[in-house]
């Protein structure tokens, strides 16, 4: 039985590429589709906020001398590219899905609205939410929290390259300790990097629980939605 029926999943652009040299690893996404099918069959409603870092990061473009607003807008369009590619792969793997974007582009993608999004979720479609918040200077982490709150999601899932939140970078330090459970206050006091401060502060203010887990990992999505111990839980 699901503990969290409606969830928003924040998925980084880098995670989509996996270990391949292409923008998106289609074999990895095929496996992910099977995970999603399993939770949809249990009655889950899932919206996915996708990053664009596998194509372009606004902050990186700014370092090359590009105006920050233009760089962030280009970064948001990179998330749309990812969403369109993901939707196609999901449809081909038998998962009904739809893209909604903070930027509406006639003939390409619908604009996001809460009412439309909820209607599609109730019809059993997976939503890919593109272009972040639609505003520069705000990360896709912030977009994930914002959309979760707008859609009355019960949890924000953050899929990363590591299996939770650590006291040190586990990629660099094998002695790093993984936390199973943290409060918002503990996370802030210890300076742990769950997400950027704007996103995290909004989640804390609205008491939105966050589960950080590894992507891809077989059964992880189902376990997270069922409330089983996985990764790191952040909340009250």
pLDDT at 165 (0 to 100): 95
Q: In angstroms, how far apart are the furthest CA atoms of the chain? A: 52
CA distance 236 to 233: 9
Local confidence band at 79 (pLDDT 50, 70, 90 cut-offs): very high
Contact 50, 13 (CB under 8 A): yes
Q: Which residue has the higher pLDDT, 192 or 61?
A: 192
Q: Name the nearest CA neighbour of 133 among 143, 120, 148, 124.
A: 143
Angle subtended by helix axes 114-122 and 140-150, to nearest 10: 70
pLDDT at 226 (0 to 100): 97
**Cβ-count burial of 1 within 10 angstroms (0-12 exposed, 13-18 middle, 19+ buried)?**
exposed
Residue ranges in 42-135 assigned as alpha helix (H) = 58-63, 68-92, 114-122
pLDDT at 209 (0 to 100): 98
Q: Please tell me what DSSP assigns to residue 176.
A: P
Round the average pLDDT of the chain to a whole number and report it: 94
pLDDT in tens, 110-165: 999 999 999 999 999 999 999 999 999 999 999 999 999 999 999 999 998 889 99
For residue 57, is pLDDT > 80? no
pLDDT at 105 (0 to 100): 96
The residue ranges of every structural domain in the chain are: 6-187+202-234
**Cβ-count burial of 16 within 10 angstroms (0-12 exposed, 13-18 middle, 19+ buried)?**
buried
Q: Name the nearest CA neighbour of 126 among 157, 84, 105, 95.
A: 95
For residue 96, is pLDDT > 80? yes
- The CATH number of the structural domain formed by 6-187+202-234 is 3.40.1160.10
Tokens for 202? 């909004």
pLDDT at 19 (0 to 100): 74
CA distance 156 to 141: 10
pTM: 0.94
pLDDT at 150 (0 to 100): 99
For residue 63, is pLDDT > 90? no
Local confidence band at 56 (pLDDT 50, 70, 90 cut-offs): confident
């Amino acid at each position: 039985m699901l503990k969290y029926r409606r969830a928003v999943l924040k998925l980084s652009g880098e995670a989509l590429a996996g270990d391949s040299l292409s923008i998106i690893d289609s074999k990895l996404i095929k496996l992910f589709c099977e995970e999603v099918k399993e939770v949809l069959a249990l009655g889950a409603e899932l919206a996915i906020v996708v990053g664009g870092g596998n194509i372009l990061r606004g902050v990186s473009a700014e370092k090359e001398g590009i105006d920050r607003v233009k760089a962030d807008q280009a970064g948001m369009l990179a998330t749309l590219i990812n969403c369109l590619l993901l939707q196609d792969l999901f449809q081909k793997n038998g998962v009904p899905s739809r893209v909604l974007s903070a930027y509406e582009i006639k003939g390409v993608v619908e604009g996001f609205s809460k009412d439309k999004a909820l209607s599609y979720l109730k019809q059993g479609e997976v939503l890919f939410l593109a272009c972040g918040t639609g505003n520069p200077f705000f990360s896709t982490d912030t977009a994930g929290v914002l959309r979760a709150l707008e859609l009355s999601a019960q949890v924000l899932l953050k899929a990363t390259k590591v299996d939770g939140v650590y006291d040190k970078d586990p990629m660099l330090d094998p002695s790093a300790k993984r936390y199973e459970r943290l409060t918002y206050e503990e996370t802030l006091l210890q300076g742990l990097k769950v997400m950027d401060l704007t996103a995290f502060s909004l989640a804390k203010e609205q008491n939105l629980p966050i589960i950080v887990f590894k992507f891809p990992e077989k059964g992880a999505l189902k376990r997270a939605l069922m409330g089983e111990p996985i990764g790191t839980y952040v909340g009250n």
